[in-house]
Chain A
Amino acid sequence: MPRPVALDGCEFDMTQVVLTDLTKKYLGATAPAVDRLNLECESGRLHALLGPSGCGKTTTMKMIAGLLKPNSGDIAFDGASVLHTPAERRGAVMVFQNYLLFPYMSVGENVGFGLKMRGVDKQTIRRRVAEMLELVRLPGIEARRPKQLSGGQQQRVALARALIVQPKVLLLDEPLSNLDAHLRDEMRELIRTIQQQMNITTIFVTHDQEEAVVLADRIALMFDGVLHQVDAPQRFYDGPVSARVARFFGGANFLPGQMHNGQFESRLGCFAVGQGAVLNGPALLTIRPEAIQLCAAESGSQQKNHLPGRIISRLYTGANTRVKVQVNEFTLTVIADPHAVDAARTGDMVTLYLAPERLWTLPIESP
Chain B
Amino acid sequence: MTNQTRLTHLLRWLALSALLFWLLLPLIPLLIWSFAFRWPFPLLLPESWSLRAWQIAFSARSGMLAALWNSLVIAVAVTLVSMLVSIPAGRAMGMHRFRGKRVVEFLLLAPTIVPPLAVVLGIHVLFIRYGLADTRLGVMLVHLSPIMPYAVLVMAGVFANYNPEYEEQARSLGAGPLRTFWYVTLPAIFPGMMVAGLFAFLISWSQYITTLLIGGGFIKTLPILLFAVAGANDTALTAAISIIFVIPALLLLLLTARYLTGEDAAAGGFGRV
Q: Is the CB of B166 within 8 A of A102?
A: yes
Asked if A93 meets B172 with Cβ closer than 8 Å, knowing A102-B166, A103-B273, the reply is yes
Cβ of A114 under 8 Å from chain B = yes
In the complex the two chains form, is B170's CB within 8 Å of A113's CB?
Answer: yes
Closest-CB distance, A36 to chain B (whole angstroms): 24
Chain A residue, CB-CB nearest to B167: A67
B173 A93 Cβ-Cβ under 8 A? yes
Q: Report the stretch among B82-90, B112-120, B174-182, B238-246 that lies at the interface.
A: B174-182
Chain B residues with Cβ under 8 A from A165's Cβ?
173-174
Q: Nearest CB to that of B187 among chain A residues? A: A104
Q: Is B234 an interface residue (CB 8 A)?
A: no
* C-alpha spacing A312/B65, complex, angstroms: 95
**Complex CA–CA separation, A117 to B256 (angstroms):** 31
Contact call B179/A96, Cβ cutoff below 8 A: no
Minimum CB distance partner of A28 in chain B: B97
Per the CB 8 Å criterion, the residue count for chain A at the interface is 26
Which of A65, A86, A103, A162 neighbours the largest number of chain B CB atoms within 10 Å of its CB? A103
Q: Are A88 and B166 in contact (CB under 8 A)?
A: no
The answer to whether residues A88 and B176 also contact, given A102-B184, A103-B270, A147-B273 and a CB cut-off of 8 A, is yes
Contacts of B168 in A (CB 8 A): 62, 65, 67, 87, 94, 96
Name, among A67, A162, A165, the residue most crowded by chain B CB atoms within 10 Å (CB to CB): A67
Chain A 80-98, CB-CB to B under 8 Å as 1, else 0, gives 0000001111001110101
Q: Tally A-B pairs: CB < 8 A.
A: 61
B165 touches A113 (CB 8 A): no
CA distance A288 to B172 in the complex (A): 42
Which residue on chain B has the smallest CB distance to residue A97?
A: B165
Q: Judging by beta carbons under 8 Å apart, are A117 and B273 in contact?
A: no
Whether A24 is near chain B, meaning CB under 8 Å from some CB there, is no
Asked if B179 and A117 sit within 8 Å, CB to CB, the answer is yes
A58 to chain B, nearest CB (A): 10
Judged by a CB distance under 8 angstroms, whether A339 is at the interface is no
B169 within 8 Å of A (CB atoms): yes
Asked whether B173 lies within 8 Å of A67 as measured between CB atoms, the reply is no
The CA-CA distance from A62 to B171 in the complex, in Å, is 11
Give the docked Cα–Cα distance between A114 and B173 (Å).
5
From A68, which residue of chain B is reached at the shortest CB distance? B168
Contacts of A161 in B (CB 8 A): 173
Q: Is the CB of A96 within 8 A of B165?
A: yes
Q: In the assembled complex, which residues on chain A have CB atoms less than 8 Å from the CB atom of B163?
A: 100
Q: How near does chain B come to A331, taking the closest CB pair, in angstroms? A: 45
Please report the C-alpha to C-alpha distance between residue A113 and residue B174 in the assembled complex, in whole angstroms: 9
- Let me know if B175 and A100 touch, CB within 8 A: no
Known contacts A100-B165, A100-B166, A113 near B173 by CB under 8 Å = yes
CA distance A147 to B179 in the complex (A): 23
Closest A residue to B173 by CB, please name it: A114
Task: Report the minimal beta-carbon distance from B112 to chain A, rounded to whole angstroms.
Answer: 32
Q: For the complex, give the distance between the alpha carbons of A89 and B179 in Å.
A: 14
Cα of A103 to Cα of B172 in the assembled complex, Å: 17
A54 to chain B, nearest CB (A): 17
Encoded as 1 (CB less than 8 Å from any B CB) or 0, chain A from 221 to 237 comes to 00000000000000000
- Asked if A88 and B174 sit within 8 Å, CB to CB, the answer is yes
Docked pose: A65 CA to B168 CA in angstroms: 9
A165 to B174, CA, bound (A): 9
Instruction: Determine if A127 is an interface residue (Cβ-Cβ < 8 Å).
Output: no
B84 smallest CB distance to A (angstroms): 23
What CA separation (Å) do A114 and B171 show in the bound complex?
A: 9
Contact: B187 with A94, CB < 8 Å? no
Top 3 A-B pairs, shortest CB-CB distance: A117-B174, A114-B173, A103-B273
What are 16 residue pairs bridging A and B, where the CB atoms are less than 8 Å apart in the complex? A65-B168, A66-B171, A86-B171, A87-B171, A88-B176, A89-B174, A94-B172, A96-B169, A102-B170, A104-B188, A113-B173, A113-B175, A114-B174, A147-B273, A161-B173, A162-B173
Instruction: Please report A residues at the B interface, Cβ cutoff 8 Å.
Output: 62, 65-67, 86-89, 92-94, 96, 98, 100, 102-104, 113-114, 117-118, 146-147, 161-162, 165
Chain B residues in contact with chain A, CB under 8 A?
Answer: 163, 165-166, 168-176, 179, 183-184, 187-188, 270, 273
Beyond the given A67-B171, A100-B169, A118-B174, could you list 6 further A-B residue pairs with CB under 8 A, ordered by the A residue number? A62-B168, A89-B174, A94-B169, A117-B174, A117-B179, A161-B173
